[in-house]
Structure 1
Amino acid sequence: MRDLSYVRTEMAAIEKPPRGERGLPAWLRKNLFASPWDAALTVLGLLLVAFILPPFLDWAFFNAAWIGTDRTFCATVAQGGIQPDGWSGACWPFVMAKFEQFMFGRYPVDERWRVILVGILFVALLVPLLIPRIPYKGLNAILFFGVFPVVAFILLVGGWFGLAHVETALWGGLLVTLVLSYVGISVSLPLGIILALGRRSKLPVVKMFSVVFIETVRGVPLVTVLFMASVMLPLFLPPGTTFDKLMRALIGVALFASAYMAEVIRGGLQAIPKGQYEGADSLGLGYWQKMGLIVLPQALKLVIPGIVNTFIGLFKDTSLVSIIGMFDLLGIVRQSFSDTAWATAQTPMTGLVFAGFVFWIFCFGMSRYSIFMERRLDTSYRR
């Protein structure tokens, strides 16, 4: 009897997907026109973009003033300028003229190299920490969170090694925004983890302290916390005892963010199945071993969006320090509107758009990196 069995000796050739499942038409159908509701929202979105984008591009680029030394280049003839009557465009010479002030505030011009050096060190240590493939993450973290703050403090404040002392009252602009954000983020995450563990603790005193702190801080706005730290706190200190205003703001922002971070972390801890705790106990692990090796790595992975959302909110909330007389990026931009040399109808909008764009760059970068880390750490993720 003839053997009709067949065994393939080579792999079948890979076939291309159907024509309707590839290319731009397939992407549009799946992402923008998958249903009548999606199609309606897509059309509505396109109409909204067509309504908003052309006037904005005309104001920001095509009809904007790019070169100038004073307000006359951004004012109409009727306002004492050189632009034709009815002109409406961005005043980018104002941003160019005030750019260093937006970045450094009133930091002495001859000493601004110290701020630039701190910025270079910050980027040089942060970038390798964010790239998973670069080794020596432990050493990198020690340098970034342990050594860098000390070096940055010495360089920015001065008073040592022949560096001139610069009072924090002279700091401003993006410098203050980044300092507040760095300290707030660096302190809020570990302190938030401790508070979250304390709130779930079986020790009554520890649990009560954590609950009272979290609920008290979350029950008041950040403006109130900053006001208390700057104005009310000195009233409870011994006569002659003073704290630097920037230090008060750093403490207030860090404690405020820690309370919100604690609730984010607690949500991740509650999402871990009970079997993970029991499995760690069955291995004979102690409490801190169980939390550090088993529970917290899983919990933090689950709440990455919430953690980054808190970081983004903290970064934007730094603009509230203007309530205590400090000027971050947004505050220094608004302060510059009072300069009569640049007093025009287009100056405020231009400055606010510039500040908003800078905030958007940092917030968008944090958001995209969180998405990258979610995909990398999610073992069940499939393209």
Structure 2
Amino acid sequence: MSDTHAQTVAFVREGMIDQQQPPTKEAGAVKWVRENLFPTWLNAILTILSLYVVWYVLSGVVPWLVSPTWGATSLGQCREILEGLGQSTEQACWGVIRDRWNQLLFGFYPSELYWRPTLALVVLLAGLAPVLFGNFPRWFLGFSLASPFLIFFLLWGGSIWLPVSVALGFVVGVVAFRALARVNQIVAVIAAVVLPILYWLFLAGPLAAAVTGLVPIGIAPVGSNEFGGFMLSIVIGVSAIVLSLPLGIMLALGRASNLFIVTKLSVAFIEIIRGVPLIVWLFTASLLLNYFLPPGTNFDLTLRVIIMVTLFSAAYIAEVVRGGLAAVPKGQYEGADSLGLSYWQSMQLIVLPQALKISIPGIVNTFIGLFKDTTLVVFIGLLDPLGLTNAIRASQEWNGIYWELYVFIGVLFFVACYSMGRYSLHLERKLQRENR
């Protein structure tokens, strides 16, 4: 019996073998390189060619970038510094950035008032924080609602009662909507839009002037003609982004509505705005918009541009959101109806959250394109960063400078647009985790 058992059992383990390290080829950096760079002979050839192209590009760009010219005060001095070090005079002249960085960022804004746009940027980030990241006390939302008017006051200055009177227009809209919502939802929405517009056109200015005469409180005014640089791009871009999102959502709901007039008006607005290039609408804001205002009205050009860019962006946002609404399963609408929810309740609680989640990539993509398109304002006389490059190169000290200015401006726009893209990915991952 023991001989038979010895023949059928080849090995009996009597102890545990110590854990061994995996083979070098199957762990760490070597494994990653094998799997991602050299998995096949074709991929190996492409990897080697790619590395050569990267090396070739960097070997030409890095020496140009690494230039000891930050202390130069003119293009001629840059060349003198490079010649003194025995280096090529074709390297970058970074002295122009050190000399004109404030102009590229703030335009012709008074230097002694730089603290105001800087503080306005801090207020902007603080005001957006509860909206973008949540987890803030509810009372902080009041600061978020007040932040646009505080930013306007800091940037433009003047009487504090002007932004206060403008803010009262929104209060008029909210009061009108709540007063008429129980009677008729459509009438309430129309009143909430029309009454504030009429108030802003005819009452906001005189009211602010009257209160200013009684209680003159304010700071030194700064005209829009002194705005410029990256600050101007942020003012136009952020204002249009914040205002176009709710307007685009309302247009999307209007286009999907069963009401004939509302649908046709929404479709007409969207198609007309989208069918004309942005540069044409900017010329319209610059030249023609004043003809539609009451006689004697002097409407600020920057504000006109903000309004036109907002309307242009809202038309694209409306189509993105409409795609999200179409992607929501029909059962969600039917489920809201079965619960006895009204149209606005179902949209607010069930349909719109799902549609906006689906639309996040398209919305952020539209915002990024909008922010970059703010450079088009140079064609109507506003000095954005690209417009200021011409003014800087026209000076005797920096005549002949090109790439350094464009590289600096490109880095600024890349940081802003890349941040928006990363936030979009963060929001998508957050919503996916919450739905698990």
Give the structure-1-normalised TM-score.
Answer: 0.86
Bigger shift: residues 19-28 or 49-58: 19-28
Q: In the aligned structure 1, how far is the partner of 2:158 from the partner of 2:402?
A: 37
Asked if the contact 1:114/1:155 (under 8 Å) is kept, the reply is yes
1:54: which partner in 2? 59
Change (3 A) 1:83 1:253: farther
Q: In the aligned structure 2, how far is the partner of 1:228 from the partner of 1:275?
A: 44
The structural deviation recorded for 1:241 is 2.8
The structural deviation recorded for 1:264 is 0.7
The structural deviation recorded for 1:92 is 1.0
2:78: which partner in 1? 74
The structural deviation recorded for 1:101 is 0.8
Change (3 A) 1:306 1:18: farther
Q: In the aligned structure 2, how far is the partner of 1:224 from the partner of 1:187?
A: 21
Asked if the contact 1:213/1:259 (under 8 Å) is kept, the reply is yes
Q: In the aligned structure 2, how far is the partner of 1:29 from the partner of 1:105?
A: 52
- Specify which of 85, 99, 102 is matched with residue 101 of structure 2: 99
The structural deviation recorded for 1:40 is 5.6
- Specify which of 360, 366, 372 is matched with residue 420 of structure 2: 366
Note the 1:257-268 alignment, pairs <5 A: 257-268=313-324
The structural deviation recorded for 1:112 is 1.9
2:346: which partner in 1? 290
2:136: which partner in 1? 135
Asked if the contact 2:130/2:141 (under 8 Å) is kept, the reply is no
Asked if the contact 2:240/2:309 (under 8 Å) is kept, the reply is yes
Bigger shift: residues 109-118 or 294-303: 109-118
Q: In the aligned structure 1, how far is the partner of 2:20 from the partner of 2:269?
A: 60
1:376: which partner in 2? 430
How many residue pairs get aligned? The number is 360
Instruction: Give the CA RMSD over aligned residues.
Output: 2.7
| Aligned: 1:214 with 2:216 | no
2:155: which partner in 1? 156
Q: Provide the secondary structure at the position in 2 that maps to 1:303.
A: helix
Note the 1:247-266 alignment, pairs <5 A: 247-266=303-322
- Specify which of 393, 404, 412 is matched with residue 337 of structure 1: 393
- Counterpart residue type for residue 309 of structure 1: N
Q: In the aligned structure 2, how far is the partner of 1:55 from the partner of 1:263?
A: 44
Q: Which has the higher contact order (CA 8 A, sep 6+)?
A: 1
- Counterpart residue type for residue 135 of structure 1: F
Q: Provide the secondary structure at the position in 2 that maps to 1:75.
A: helix
Asked if the contact 2:279/2:376 (under 8 Å) is kept, the reply is yes
Change (3 A) 1:320 1:226: same
Cα deviation 1:208-248 (Å, max 9, x = unaligned): 11111111111111101101111122244454333110011
| Aligned: 1:23 with 2:28 | yes
Q: In the aligned structure 1, how far is the partner of 2:379 from the partner of 2:50?
A: 38
Larger-Rg structure: 2
The structural deviation recorded for 1:181 is 1.2
Asked if the contact 1:333/1:355 (under 8 Å) is kept, the reply is no
Q: In the aligned structure 1, how far is the partner of 2:435 from the partner of 2:58?
A: 36
Asked if the contact 2:92/2:404 (under 8 Å) is kept, the reply is yes
Q: In the aligned structure 2, how far is the partner of 1:147 from the partner of 1:349?
A: 41
Cα deviation 1:43-70 (Å, max 9, x = unaligned): 4443332221221111111x35221122
Structure 1, gaps ≥5 residues long: 1-14
The structural deviation recorded for 1:139 is 4.1
Cα deviation 1:147-200 (Å, max 9, x = unaligned): 111111112111223411111111111111111111111011111110111111
Cα deviation 1:320-374 (Å, max 9, x = unaligned): 1111111122222332111111113xx2110000000100001111111111111
Q: In the aligned structure 2, how far is the partner of 1:115 from the partner of 1:165?
A: 13
Asked if the contact 2:69/2:81 (under 8 Å) is kept, the reply is no
2:115: which partner in 1? 113
- Counterpart residue type for residue 302 of structure 2: L
Q: In the aligned structure 2, how far is the partner of 1:173 from the partner of 1:60?
A: 23
Cα deviation 1:66-108 (Å, max 9, x = unaligned): 2112222223699xx9786952111111011101111111111
Cα deviation 1:277-310 (Å, max 9, x = unaligned): 1111111111111111111111111121111101
1:186: which partner in 2? 242
2:163: which partner in 1? none
1:4: which partner in 2? none
- Counterpart residue type for residue 319 of structure 2: E
Q: In the aligned structure 1, how far is the partner of 2:119 from the partner of 2:264?
A: 44
Bigger shift: residues 238-247 or 163-172: 238-247
The structural deviation recorded for 1:27 is 3.4
